[in-house]
Copies of this chain bind each other. A is one copy, B any other.
Amino acid sequence: MAASVGKEVSNKQLILRDYVTGSPKESDMYVETSTIKLEIPSGSKAVLLKNLYLSCDPIMRIRMNRAEDSIFASYIPGSALSGYGVAKVLDSRHPDYKEGDFVWGPAVWEEYSLVEEPNLTKIHHTDVPLSYYTGILGAVGQLVGQFAKLTGCYVVGSAGSQQKVDLLKNKFGFDEAFNYKEEHDLNAALKRYFPNGIDIYFDNVGGKMLDAVLLNMRDHGRIAGCGMTSIYNLDEPEGIKNLMFIIYKRIRMEGFAAIEYYHLYPKFLDHILPYIRESKVVYVEDIAEGLENGAAALLGLFSGRNIGKQVLVVTHE
């Protein structure tokens, strides 16, 4: 049993003040410190977690909406945010987990969590940084292009600063990359890099980029829909005007959600860990420290402040 178990300790949380419309601001969230007794009620099958790393994900913005019929459960104003994270098991009355285990899975944005019905994945390989487990499933953006390179594709990335463009080309090994903020005509930019059209587009942003991509897809091209970060802050998204190209070019577009593929996670780790150990796949993190800086880290996703996967460290151990 960890030394702290049984004690009453302070427990910082990052709380949503109220539902958000439009772009979120730091003042939409606040840190509150309460106390928690580090004890599992007898008779329960709960685990007691010390949260280490939290994943900052664009989808969290959607959960700040007041939306009765959304697919994503809205956060409750006055309660802590939640998402995915990495934690250490301080104590457990659940047969699948024991003290000292490292786990990843659903996580509340707080220092300590008592989880009544844990649905967490144990981390077996600790020779890569533990924080990687917040993102290596969710932060597909930087992995997709590297996987595509490994399978022999010509890969072009789009990012929002020169620094990120350099990262894509020099660190991730993309063939080309461009700064979409400096392209006044995205259609022309895509024509420059794909004079013969695009076979596969991995869509993480939606909006104007998707519209330009649709114009430049090849016949029978494929679009994997993963996210539409560009529109999460908009109450009324602008609308995709070139969707008829799905018909004109017989494109297939399909949406994917990581949550439906968790059963493949062990296989995925077997696949990616050797690449990471040999530096054939590179993984870049942007680390923010402390729940006090959580709101800023989260909002940075939408201004493009982060370089690499945005992780919030609650504590390193």
Q: Report whether A249 and B206 are in contact in the complex, using a CB–CB cutoff of 8 Å.
A: no
Q: Report whether B243 and A236 are in contact in the complex, using a CB–CB cutoff of 8 Å.
A: no
Q: Report whether A236 and B241 are in contact in the complex, using a CB–CB cutoff of 8 Å.
A: yes
Question: Nearest-CB distance from A254 to chain B (Å)?
Answer: 4
Q: Report whether B206 and A248 are in contact in the complex, using a CB–CB cutoff of 8 Å.
A: no
Q: Report whether A255 and B260 are in contact in the complex, using a CB–CB cutoff of 8 Å.
A: no
User: With A236-B241, A241-B239 in contact, is A254–B252 under 8 Å at CB?
Assistant: yes
**Residue picked from A206, A225, A236, most chain B C-beta under 10 Å:** A225
**Residue picked from A225, A236, A247, most chain B C-beta under 10 Å:** A247
A71 proximal to B (CB < 8 A) = yes
Number of interface residues of A (CB under 8 A): 31
- Give the distance in Å from the alpha carbon of A210 to the alpha carbon of B253 in the complex: 15
A240 proximal to B (CB < 8 A) = yes
Complex copy number for this chain? 2
Q: Report whether A225 and B247 are in contact in the complex, using a CB–CB cutoff of 8 Å.
A: yes
A226 proximal to B (CB < 8 A) = yes
Interface hits, A220-240 → B, CB 8 Å: 225-228, 231, 236-240
A167 proximal to B (CB < 8 A) = no
- Give the distance in Å from the alpha carbon of A225 to the alpha carbon of B227 in the complex: 21
Q: Chain B contacts of A140 at CB under 8 A?
A: none
Residue of B nearest to A72 (CB): B248
Q: Chain B contacts of A72 at CB under 8 A?
A: 248
A251 proximal to B (CB < 8 A) = yes
- Give the distance in Å from the alpha carbon of A152 to the alpha carbon of B85 in the complex: 45
Binding site of A, secondary structure by majority: helix, strand, loop or mixed? loop
- Give the distance in Å from the alpha carbon of A256 to the alpha carbon of B246 in the complex: 8
Interface hits, A137-192 → B, CB 8 Å: none
27 residue pairs from A and B, CB less than 8 Å apart: A71-B249, A225-B246, A225-B247, A226-B247, A227-B247, A228-B244, A231-B244, A238-B239, A238-B241, A239-B240, A243-B243, A246-B255, A247-B255, A247-B256, A247-B257, A248-B255, A249-B255, A250-B254, A250-B255, A250-B256, A250-B257, A251-B254, A251-B255, A252-B252, A252-B254, A252-B255, A253-B253
The 10 closest A-B pairs by CB, nearest first: A239-B239, A247-B255, A246-B255, A252-B254, A225-B247, A250-B255, A239-B241, A228-B244, A71-B248, A240-B240
A interface, CB within 8 angstroms of B: 71-72, 206, 210, 225-228, 231, 236-241, 243-257, 260
